[in-house]
Structure 1
Amino acid sequence: MKFRVTAYHQHLLRDHERLSAFYEAIASAAHGLTYDLGAGSGVLSFFASEYADHVIAIERDPRIAACAWENLSGLENVTVVNEDALEYEFKERADTIICEMLDTALIDEEQVPVLRRALRFLKDGGNVIPAAVINAAEPVMIKGGSISYDENIRAPSSGPLCVYDRVDFRGRIPEKFRGTLKLLASDSFNAIRITSFTVPAENIICGPTPMMNPPLILPLGDTLEAGYFRVKLSYKMGGGLDSVKAELK
């Protein structure tokens, strides 16, 4: 099927690893009444139409919603709604909610308040796609001293990757993460790198892809030698990069 898309959504469609992971999750978990929140050009709604009884694709941007209308117009069990999901009136409780998360550790993720609200309208035992996100950190040596995404030239790791948090989307999504990371550096370092792994469904895990969860670099200041160390880390989920605080204990 040929999709009409914006330039940004064209990049999303070319991210085959991301699309494959979400197609598998939708095939295994989508059913009944399904809401696709922030539907974009409608590709995930298109996937869900094969497995759900009815898909309601909600997209607030009128230009992008027009693309979704065109792309999904031939599907009798899909309804496209040009509204903000934060204001949409859910008239029926959902069997499945699709709410794609694209940003590392949910820090700069605009969909966090959208899903937090929509969960009130999920049936008991209903499914959320993705099911969870797993966050991990590792020490790295970088040039420069500002928070940035490690998208193109990945800084080599100075120690093993350590999982520090998992957010399950069928439960309560915390407002903040606040904790102490216990990490081991096998070489000198001056920053930590956060990597997020998306769990589209319980039997599927997807690491960073070209358009999803680019690793995030958090500078620590001075260069430190190898050994065990602790980092006090906090951020607001959906609060943006300005909410991030990382400091050595």
Structure 2
Amino acid sequence: MVNFTPYEVNLCLYDQERTRRFKRAIHKVVKPGDVVVDAGSGTGILAMFAAQSGAKKVYALELNKRFIKIIKENAKRNDFDKIIQVVHCDATKYKLPEKVDVIICELLSTGLFFEPEIQIINHLKRFLKKGGRTVPKECRSHIQLIDAQKELYGIKLNYDSREVNLVKDVGVTEKVPLDVLEFEKKREPVILHKPITLKGTRDAIANAVKITTKSELTDGIYSKQTKFLFQPEIIYLKEPVAINKYKRYRMTVKYAGGSDSLHAKFRIEQL
């Protein structure tokens, strides 16, 4: 698990496309009189959207002590300090004092790496009223094998993962579904371990996987790639694999939600 830095939290806040989509979703879901929990509250912006929408109580849960004062001050300056209760805690363990109508948790990243989105929602759902809602509602990820650019600035940079497309990145298989997380329907498994079937689209060497993610925040409101949210996750393979056009391959994918993308395991074999 990697905690967001103040710099990254500000990137989230000022990614206006992302933040406005969450505002629309929260205003659609939260009804006057609702009790809401916002886990991983950061600056408190989503908690304030919930208060703005008429929530009678919002629990803003935040692990990073630096942001506790910021959330409190932002709530006070917007006259929401009597509605928003700020709690310094680990949202994967905190026991809410009452049932809630809505869970908000925006610790989203491509493939659900790095942040404990799944763990937090799974934990907080025990406090969700029957018929309660979550924001986001679901996340869908896709995967493909690519021939990823190996050098930049005249230096080989083909070990780490990255969250940016480079001009020489080329897909060598079809893009296929990897996972669907339906947060409102059920508790989701933390470990992803599944076989994927891919078809080659060119004769080439695959040296990386590319994962993309989009989210349905609530009914009819979607968030795909924005300035900060859901950039592609490109993870270099330990060993490159020869791919032939039209041939089919089985790739077994295994990693834990919230883990570092470098810990993900990929096994590829021709069918």
* Same fold at TM > 0.5: yes
Structure 1 SS opposite 2:253: strand
Aligned to 2:193: 178
CA-to-aligned-CA distance 1:150-194 (integer Å, 9 cap, x gap): 325362333442223201112111021111212223222413211
Aligned to 2:98: 92
Percent identity among equivalent residues?
A: 25
Which range is displaced more, 186-195 or 26-35?
186-195
Aligned to 2:116: 110
Which range is displaced more, 56-65 or 213-222?
213-222
Aligned to 1:61: 64
Looking at structure 1, the residues matched to 69 and 60 of structure 2 have their Cα atoms a distance apart, in angstroms, of: 12
Deviation of 1:199 (Å): 1.4
Q: 1:233 aligns with which of 231, 238, 253?
A: 253
- Pair 1:202–1:147, CA change in 2 (3 A): farther
Aligned to 1:224: 243
- Pair 1:186–1:152, CA change in 2 (3 A): closer
Query: What amino acid does structure 2 have at the position aligned with 1:224?
Result: I
* Equivalent pair of 1:193/1:217 in contact (CA under 8 Å): yes
* Equivalent pair of 1:139/1:189 in contact (CA under 8 Å): no
1:148 aligns with 2:161: yes
Looking at structure 1, the residues matched to 253 and 95 of structure 2 have their Cα atoms a distance apart, in angstroms, of: 37
* Equivalent pair of 1:139/1:184 in contact (CA under 8 Å): no
Looking at structure 2, the residues matched to 219 and 6 of structure 1 have their Cα atoms a distance apart, in angstroms, of: 28
Q: Which runs of 4+ in 1 moved over 6 A?
A: none
Deviation of 1:132 (Å): 0.9
Q: 1:164 aligns with which of 178, 188, 191?
A: 178
Q: 2:219 aligns with which of 202, 227, 245?
A: 202
Superposition pairs of residues 68-87 of structure 1, within 5 angstroms: 68-73=71-76, 74-75=79-80, 76-87=82-93
1:50 aligns with 2:43: no
* Equivalent pair of 1:183/1:230 in contact (CA under 8 Å): yes
Structure 2 SS opposite 1:143: coil
Unaligned runs of 5+ in 2: 151-157
The two structures, once aligned, show a CA RMSD in angstroms of: 2.1
Looking at structure 2, the residues matched to 141 and 150 of structure 1 have their Cα atoms a distance apart, in angstroms, of: 15
CA-to-aligned-CA distance 1:73-118 (integer Å, 9 cap, x gap): 1213222222222342311011001011322221322333222211
* Equivalent pair of 2:44/2:71 in contact (CA under 8 Å): yes
1:121 aligns with 2:127: yes
How many residues were matched structurally? 245
Query: What amino acid does structure 2 have at the position aligned with 1:109?
Result: E
Query: What amino acid does structure 1 have at the position aligned with 2:133?
Result: N
Structure 2 SS opposite 1:39: coil
Aligned to 2:155: none
Query: What amino acid does structure 1 have at the position aligned with 2:164?
Result: E
Which range is displaced more, 58-67 or 149-158?
149-158
Deviation of 1:35 (Å): 0.4
Looking at structure 2, the residues matched to 6 and 150 of structure 1 have their Cα atoms a distance apart, in angstroms, of: 19
Query: What amino acid does structure 2 have at the position aligned with 1:68?
Result: I
Aligned to 1:27: 27
Aligned to 1:213: 230
Task: Give TM-score scaled by structure 1 length.
Answer: 0.89
Task: Give TM-score scaled by structure 2 length.
Answer: 0.83
Structure 2 SS opposite 1:49: helix
Query: What amino acid does structure 2 have at the position aligned with 1:196?
Result: T
Structure 2 SS opposite 1:9: helix
